[in-house]
Amino acid sequence: MIIFGLGNPLPKYRETRHNIGFMIVDKLAKKLSIRFSHKPSYHVARKGVDYTLIKPMLYMNNSGIAAAEYLRTISSSQFFIVVCDDLALPLGKIRIREKGSDGGHNGLASIIYHFQTNNFPRLRIGIGLIQNGFTTTDYVLSKFSENEKPILEKVIETSCEALVRINETGIKSAMNKYNAMSLIASLKQSDN
């Protein structure tokens, strides 16, 4: 399975909401004990034939260029999934879909444009609704607050579990398990 985690490459973007795709594939790479090698337009980490993790490095709006470039380097068509942030979902929710529109997400729009299809699965990660006083750009490029960090850690951990489940038992199984889950509720229960 190929996993494209979307984000922006510079250190100043590392902990921003828009980079949650990078955060998740970084965590999954750590769990799988693999390291990223650096290519000009993407970073790649592989675990045998089971997992290939890709971080497009041409900025969010050009994610499709890097993703298409990587797919041209492999001989067979493999299952792939895109991991990205979602402004329409609250923090603590993840949503797995088999296909769909870009939903206003420039990284997904770029992949749809360069692949000429929206028929690919995605794992969308809620980053919270835009707060008063923020533009969309300012909000997605803002960092998570200290209060949000415990939820963020749970989201990243659960997203890694969901990706492993997709690979091992299929996307429908993962959708059934994770799409209805509220990670904020599960955190509150574990605190009691």
pLDDT digits (tens, 9 = 90+) for 98-147: 999 999 999 999 999 999 999 999 999 999 888 888 899 999 999 999 99
Sequence-ordered strand ranges (E) for the chain = 2-5, 37-38, 42-47, 51-56, 80-86, 94-97, 122-126
Whose CA is closest to 7, among 85, 96, 88? 85
Specify the pLDDT at position 147: 92
Q: List all residues 6 or more positions away from 102 whose beta carbon is below 8 Å from its beta carbon.
A: 108, 109, 112, 118
Quickly tell me which residue has 């990243």 as its tokens: 156
Q: How many structural domains does the chain have?
A: 1
User: Could you say which residues of the chain have pLDDT below 70?
Assistant: 185-192
What is the span of the domain harbouring residue 127?
2-191
The answer to whether the CB of 127 falls within 8 A of the CB of 91 is yes
Specify the pLDDT at position 183: 82
**Which residues are the active-site residues?**
18
Quick one: tokens of 143? 């960092």
pTM for the full predicted model: 0.93
CATH number at residue 62: 3.40.50.1470
Quick one: tokens of 36? 């990223």
